[in-house]
Amino acid sequence: MSDSHNRHRFEVLTADAWDDREEQLSACHTAARGQRRDSRYWRWRYLEAPDGGALICAFRNGRMVGILGNTYLRARHGEGRVLAGVMGDLSMPVSDRSWACYTGLLQRSLTHGVEHCVSFGYAFAHGNAAALSSRVGTVCVGRMPVWSGFLDVRRALAGRRLGAALSLLVAPGQPLLGVANGERTPGNVVVDSLTDPFDVTFARLWESVAQGRDVGVVRDAPYLNWRYVRRPDARYLRLVARSAGEPAGLAVVRTRPDQRKAYLLELMARDDSPTVLRVLAGEVVRRMAQQGIGLVTACFPPGSAETRVLAAMRFQRWGTRLWDVILTVTPGDRGKREPEASMRRWYFSLGDWLTH
């Protein structure tokens, strides 16, 4: 179907049309964000997710002028499970940005979600985008708490504008700014790198972690393998703590050696064991220091066992306003906004929203 002159046409990208659109997707995203994604990323996120998804494309006068993605994921919701849609990859080049394009993308995405029995939608949006989305009925749940820990201030600032001058100013404070080492590994806990895919034992680990968490993505083996094993354009360090042969905890890290940064994407322990969490976080810190990383960033819910461990290791929350990422929720048809409208009832990590 061709575009009417100067009018938008919205298309849900189907599998059989994917190959013809991948380069257009990357070009549109690059024009809007100034970053180029590997073309394989789009297929991974919206076709290969365990429960699928939808990538909505806007066209005008024959050109792709907007993108909005919606990945469908199984989520814990109270004592049950529902299908939730996490929106992402909203991209519109500056010259093509308009309210008509934005609302058209959003409406087509919401319609597709209803057709596929999605219970509620959510997104991790930057401040301005969150304010914009509130105009069409989304609820701003709260700002994502971003924890940052310096391993080496000079390394963290290396290569940045004014980095050399700033490093001279802050280097004397390294003993106060720097994170503390974690806990020595107890004799009954062994930490190893995981090289095989996740298996069903990690579903049991997640079920233990999920107790008392009202809403959040189900981190079972299909999800973990999709997110951290099958992604074609990224590699992750996966550390598993084992006790009596079973996973007692998990940490997942992505490094950016060119920027001397690392992201702690997942950190969990059976029954929220503070000992296992400290052991895993300490192992992450040690390995990152050996690799020359200067800064580690993480994100976990307020008041969680993970944040207590990070605080004890002298991670700080100064990155929260600097990143300015807001959790927003689009309620479903149930007429209720609980529990997904309360930040403290969520379980999330940096791996839920940092995909670049």
Cβ contact 237:213 at 8 Å:
no
Percent of the chain with pLDDT over 90: 69
Interval 247-301: pLDDT, tens: 999 999 999 999 999 999 999 999 999 999 999 999 999 999 999 999 999 999 9
Give the per-residue pLDDT at 169: 40
pTM of the model: 0.90
pLDDT over threshold 70, residue 181: no
Interval 63-86: pLDDT, tens: 999 999 999 999 999 888 999 999
Domains (range + CATH), the chain: 8-118 (3.40.630.30), 146-322 (3.40.630.30)
pLDDT over threshold 80, residue 23: yes
Give the per-residue pLDDT at 330: 87
| Cβ neighbourhood burial of 74 (10 Å; 0-12, 13-18, 19+) | middle
Give the per-residue pLDDT at 129: 80
- Closest to 180 in 3D by CA, of 200, 150, 205: 150
- Closest to 268 in 3D by CA, of 184, 355, 326, 352: 352
Interval 126-161: pLDDT, tens: 888 878 777 877 889 999 999 999 998 877 776 554
Helices within 158-265 (DSSP H only): 163-170, 174-177, 201-210, 221-228
